[in-house]
Amino acid sequence: MKIEKPKLQQQLLEAEPVYALESKTEYKDRLIENIALDLQEVSKVSFENVLFRHVTILESTLEHCEFTDVRFEHCDFSNVNLQDSFMHRTQWLNCKLVGTDFSGSRWQNVSVLQSICDYSSFRFAHLKQVEYAECSLAGADFAYLKLQKIALSLCKMDQVIFTGTAMKGMDLSDCDFDALLLTLEDLAGCAIAPHQAASFVGLMGLIIK
């Protein structure tokens, strides 16, 4: 699956200090790095052609925000509320997204690479052309998703919730999990490896002796 990468024009990036985010503000052509922006409460913030590097935003609310041509490198957005956000041509690389709430969001051409996303929530999100590679997704919530091409590769996915999400066309064969929370109907059409099949025997009411 081809994912469009952020079209970052780094020669235009200004390393201008940002000490707090403001609602209904556009941040464009920015390099934001080496800063902690904790306890933010903003909405409808727009980011375009922005590189976040070594940025920490904890225990914050950034609802209805838009990210276009944005890359996050070595950032920590744990427990941030990013509900109903929009991301296009966005990349998360070596980031920490533990408990981050992306529910109701719309993602298109988004990559999450080598990141820790345990207990993050994407419930009711719309994901199109999205990939997760070498990520930890333990306990993440992918319930009731609208999916249009999603790729998961070499991810740790134990106890991920897929209830109400049609997984047809998804390939989990090289991912690592002991159990997923879903129904047989959700799983229909999903590719798995032979050794993973035993994880779903209980869904069929079978008992292995």
Task: Say yes or no to pLDDT of 93 above 80.
Answer: yes
Task: Give the pLDDT score at 110.
Answer: 98
In the chain, the amino acid numbered 41 is: E
Task: Say yes or no to pLDDT of 14 above 80.
Answer: no
pLDDT digits (tens, 9 = 90+) for 109-132: 999 999 999 999 999 999 999 999
Task: Say yes or no to pLDDT of 207 above 60.
Answer: no
Which residues, other chains included, contact 176 with Cβ-Cβ below 8 Å and sequence gap of 6+?
154, 155, 156, 157, 158
Task: Say yes or no to pLDDT of 206 above 50.
Answer: no
Instruction: Indicate the Cα dihedral angle 188, 191, 196, 197, nearest 10°.
Output: 40
The answer to whether the CB of 29 falls within 8 A of the CB of 12 is: yes
Task: Say yes or no to pLDDT of 209 above 70.
Answer: no
Structure token digits, residue 189? 């059409």
Task: Give the pLDDT score at 198.
Answer: 78
Tell me the three state secondary structure of residue 187.
Answer: helix
Task: Give the pLDDT score at 204.
Answer: 61
Average pLDDT of every residue of the chain: 92
In the chain, the amino acid numbered 109 is: N
Which residues, other chains included, contact 2 with Cβ-Cβ below 8 Å and sequence gap of 6+?
129
**Residue that the structure tokens 């941040």 belong to:** 27
State if pTM tops 0.85.
yes
Q: Please tell me the chain's helix, strand, coil percentages from 3-state DSSP, rounded to the nearest 5.
A: 10, 40, 50
Q: Rounded to an integer, what distance in angstroms lies between the CA atom of residue 20 and that of residue 15?
A: 15
Q: What percent of the chain has pLDDT over 90?
A: 79
